[in-house]
Chain A
């Protein structure tokens, strides 16, 4: 297990290096200019050149890349092209919004989708099961921002129970307000995620229900629910954990969309505004950080699956 984990860690590091090259190259290949946007209409070509010299964007790409990675290794992500603030500070300032938001969204979606997904499988031939299937299919088709707009219209503008957007200026020093600000956005992401997860959990459970050991258990007099609880859930857990991992990553990406709809100063809106302004210094580090998080989540999923299902441990990688 330890050997497996360390092997995976090496793969993860190599993937990160490859990802950093890819991110750097693709961003440089994008059309668009941050210098022009900073100086605005009226700037002369001399002024643009001077600004590019100050930003270092006039230097060879390889040099810029090695400076970026070298800085990251030393723990310095560089400065934003636009605001000149340290990139690490900018990202750190946004985490208190995005982390609680995506974790809350994830927790909510698990709470919603696990019981409903299992229920849908158990009742697959009953109207309630069909209803859940239809509802979840609908949920998958609906764009996430639209869910947000609907929730705002109902709970903020119509009923006035929760704010339509924004985050308190004092941040978490006003915990009540901060939590209220995150309820609707978290619910928005959770609804969109649950729709996907319910379908996965339903089919994972269905696979298990068709297994011989369940039939045997039923033959021994267990009810369907009892059989599932005693023998099925652990088996269903392996694919479900993989889905949870993917969905945890999705909850972060969902934040990008939802933060814009709810006017939240989180990582997602930082990414969006940096991409629009071609603040590549911010974008490259942020995208790499997101990639790293996704890779770490996946490593966690693989390890968790091995803990849950001993059979996976025996299929040793022979290399």
Chain B
């Protein structure tokens, strides 16, 4: 063995390892929602295949793994359906269940299932499939993010072929929403199975690292898809994505997350740029369980020291929206709280003084990426103005999950949270940000046990206001949902209220 070959061997290994240091920006991607109907197109004039560009590739086709929002974005509603669907406004509508009723005491839910539904392999859909799928989500080995919320389901029974009854151990106002977020597969299909659903599309092929193809299912029970099929092409690099769009390889880009590259499409008649709302909240989260962040005044001071308007301008050129708590406008308990801790460096200084904190020096861990880099630098300069030193520590997503999410080993972090209705996570004191407020927990618990939707909404509004006042985190802004389509492509929703991206109404003029 010559010295060269030894060196090269280690070089190859080292080169691979060095790559960890420059990990991709892996912010949790945005999510989707149903589409505005396209009234002009009829089934007779089907458009050909639609090619959609996305940076959110599934890492696996396991439906019930929370981290793979890519699989929900592509498959939910299109290939797999739920008992109830969630529409573009975040409202629940009947899907595989035609109807449901809730008993007086809120403990028994009865679902009447649609009778004319078949799976893509031809098997009729029955109550056994529902019992199986829901049981699988709460099984011990389930990776579903909603498992904890759905554990209140004590007994799931098939009353007859087309009726399912669910007994709860305690009332849960969120049950319908949580169930609507979970998809139904054939009795016995493991969550690993990815080829048999009831939706308007049949899954054809996924070539990892490249594309995923769906084809229209002709025996669909509902309105058939208006296009023949859809292919999602996956990109890791946003420049490559935009190049593909610019040269006509793509019909639509679900989420444009590189604001700098928008200009080439905005004043170009060959493209249509839409801006809608998302449920993606950009957070500067504090570790409430360590000092000085346990002191409400310190959190409030840090929040007030930030010029969020300027950050939004710098990152998104004024697109998007300021928020003052975890709740986006799509949720029923949204209140505009953006002004609660408005930019006010003077009062920030006073609050710090009151708290007796001097020469504060804190660290922010964030997943390296263009947008977060800008946000981190703006935070740094805003805080310098009130004599707080912010040390920037870029990391990659795998480290974020281990150190911050799992081990809670951090001071502050920048993260975006995509899940709908995730304000409830602040009621869990063991969650990574360690917010532990008995008042907030009580309001959330009462909301879950509420006897009506109105009561639930009132209680969660109150919880929301409390959270904002407390500055449990610094909610920077709501990420705008920007999509770019080739001219002539229509039928997609501008807003993003759920995780699925419904594609059955997308058409392109040929």
Q: Which residues of A contact B (CB under 8 A)?
A: 8, 11-12, 15, 19, 22-23, 26-27, 30-45, 47-48, 50-51, 54, 82-85, 90, 93-94, 149, 152, 156-157, 160, 163-167, 169, 242, 246, 249, 253, 256, 260-263, 265, 269-273, 275-278, 283, 286-287, 290-291, 294-295, 298-299, 302
Contacts and interface: CB of A to CB of B under 8 A. Distances in A.
A287 B66 CA distance: 29
B59 to A, nearest CB: 4
B244 A82 contact: no
A102 to B, nearest CB: 13
Interface stretch (B15-23, B105-113, B435-443): B15-23
Contacts of A152: 243
B398 A277 contact: yes
Interface stretch (B164-172, B234-242, B320-328, B452-460): B234-242
A84 B209 contact: no
Contacts of A44: 147-148
A85 B142 CA distance: 19
Contacts of B247: 156-157, 160, 163-164
A298 B140 CA distance: 51
Given A42-B66, A287-B13, A291-B12, A256 B60 contact: no
A273 to B, nearest CB: 6
Contacts of B400: 36
Q: Which 6 A-B pairs have the closest CB atoms?
A: A36-B401, A40-B67, A32-B398, A42-B145, A298-B5, A33-B402
Given A275-B17, A287-B16, 19 more contacts: A15-B5, A32-B396, A36-B405, A38-B67, A38-B68, A40-B67, A41-B67, A42-B66, A43-B67, A43-B145, A50-B143, A156-B247, A263-B235, A265-B208, A271-B16, A271-B19, A276-B398, A277-B398, A283-B16
Contact of B67 (A36, A167, A253): A36
A271 B17 CA distance: 10
Contacts of A39: 65-67, 143, 145
Contacts of A160: 247
Given A34-B398, A50-B141, A273-B209, A166 B417 contact: no
Contacts of A164: 240, 243-244, 246-247
The interface residues of chain A, by DSSP majority, are classed as helix
A22 B1 contact: no
Contacts of B211: 169
A165 B249 CA distance: 10
24 contacts: A26-B17, A30-B20, A38-B65, A38-B68, A41-B66, A43-B145, A50-B141, A82-B59, A83-B59, A84-B60, A84-B62, A246-B4, A253-B12, A263-B235, A265-B208, A275-B17, A276-B396, A277-B59, A287-B12, A287-B16, A291-B13, A294-B11, A294-B12, A298-B2
Contacts of B236: 260, 263, 269, 272-273
A164 B249 CA distance: 10
A31 B59 contact: no
A256 B208 contact: no
Nearest to A286: B16
Nearest to A26: B17
Interface string B199-226: 0000000011111010000000000000
Interface in B358-382: none
Interface string B56-87: 00011110011111000000000000000000
B189 interface: no
Interface string B280-307: 0000000000000000000000000000
A8 B24 CA distance: 39
A272 B19 contact: yes
A242 B5 CA distance: 10
Given A39-B143, A42-B425, A165-B240, A276 B67 contact: no
B249 A47 contact: no
Contact of B17 (A30, A40, A84, A263): A30
B15 A253 contact: yes
A261 B24 CA distance: 13
Contact of B401 (A32, A263, A270, A294): A32
B283 to A, nearest CB: 11
B141 A54 contact: yes
A41 B209 contact: no
A45 B396 CA distance: 21
Contacts of B141: 50, 54
Interface string B34-58: 0000000000000000000000000
A265 B209 contact: yes
Contacts of B8: 246, 249, 294-295, 298
A224 B211 CA distance: 56
A163 B397 CA distance: 31
A100 to B, nearest CB: 16
Given A32-B398, A93-B207, A26 B67 contact: no
B210 A261 contact: no
Contact of A302 (B2, B62, B148, B246): B2
A42 B178 CA distance: 13
Contacts of B60: 38, 82-84
A96 B436 CA distance: 54
A269 B409 CA distance: 31
B398 A41 contact: no
A253 to B, nearest CB: 6
Interface in B384-437: 396-403, 405-406, 415, 417, 419, 422, 425, 430
